[in-house]
Amino acid sequence: MVRLKIGDVFEIVTSNGIGLFQYVHKDETIGELIRILPSLFEEGYVINDELVEKKELYLIHFPLGTALNQKLVTKKGNYPIPQDFKLPIKFRSEHMVNGELICWHIIDYDTWYRENVERLSEEQKQLSPWGIWNDTLLKQRLAEGWTLDRWI
């Protein structure tokens, strides 16, 4: 069993290329938080500090230890987390009823308090999704080029 270390970079193979992400935080309740690096890559790509320093597309909780043990992801090395990276204090989630968006939930990362918001501010539109994605959803979202600005 491989031990996870903050800063570890992993790859996951999707139908459209190889996605990269970096392990940045472990929450005792919801698990490992990863930052999704921009772009998909082809075989033979090279990871360097410059690539890892790029602004992430978003963050998401992901069962990294399990995925690594099941060989669903591959560790590519350990790199410094960018100096300008800050652990988010809020995330967002859509509240849907019968397929219709009712409101957004803005979730405080420390308290898990949820604030209901009908319309997102520009700042709130930059908040990463709340919740845990499994490998299937992560691969799907990476392959389709999912980003925060394409979210509803």
Task: Note whether 111 and 141 are same-domain residues.
Answer: no
Task: Note whether 135 and 112 are same-domain residues.
Answer: no
Task: Note whether 14 and 78 are same-domain residues.
Answer: yes
Task: Note whether 11 and 79 are same-domain residues.
Answer: yes
Strand order across the beta sheet in which 90-97 lies: 90-97, 100-108, 114-117
Say how far apart CA 72 and CA 54 lie, in whole Å: 24
- pLDDT of 4 reads 96
Task: Note whether 123 and 103 are same-domain residues.
Answer: yes
How many angstroms separate the Cα of 7 from the Cα of each of 43, 52, 57, 66? 22, 10, 16, 17
Task: Note whether 67 and 108 are same-domain residues.
Answer: no
Task: Note whether 30 and 54 are same-domain residues.
Answer: yes
- pLDDT of 150 reads 84
Say how far apart CA 30 and CA 131 lie, in whole Å: 8
- pLDDT of 1 reads 60
Q: Which residues form the domain of 93?
A: 89-127
Residue 57: both structure tokens together: 């597309």
Say how far apart CA 124 and CA 60 lie, in whole Å: 16
Task: Note whether 118 and 137 are same-domain residues.
Answer: no
- pLDDT of 3 reads 86
Task: Note whether 107 and 151 are same-domain residues.
Answer: no
Say how far apart CA 150 and CA 9 lie, in whole Å: 25
- pLDDT of 140 reads 97
pLDDT in tens, the chain (152 residues): 678 999 999 999 999 999 999 999 999 999 999 999 999 999 989 999 999 999 999 999 999 999 999 999 999 999 999 999 999 999 999 999 999 999 999 999 999 999 999 999 999 999 999 999 999 999 999 999 999 998 87
- pLDDT of 136 reads 97
The domain total for the chain is 2
Task: Note whether 120 and 63 are same-domain residues.
Answer: no
Residue found under tokens 């968006």: 101
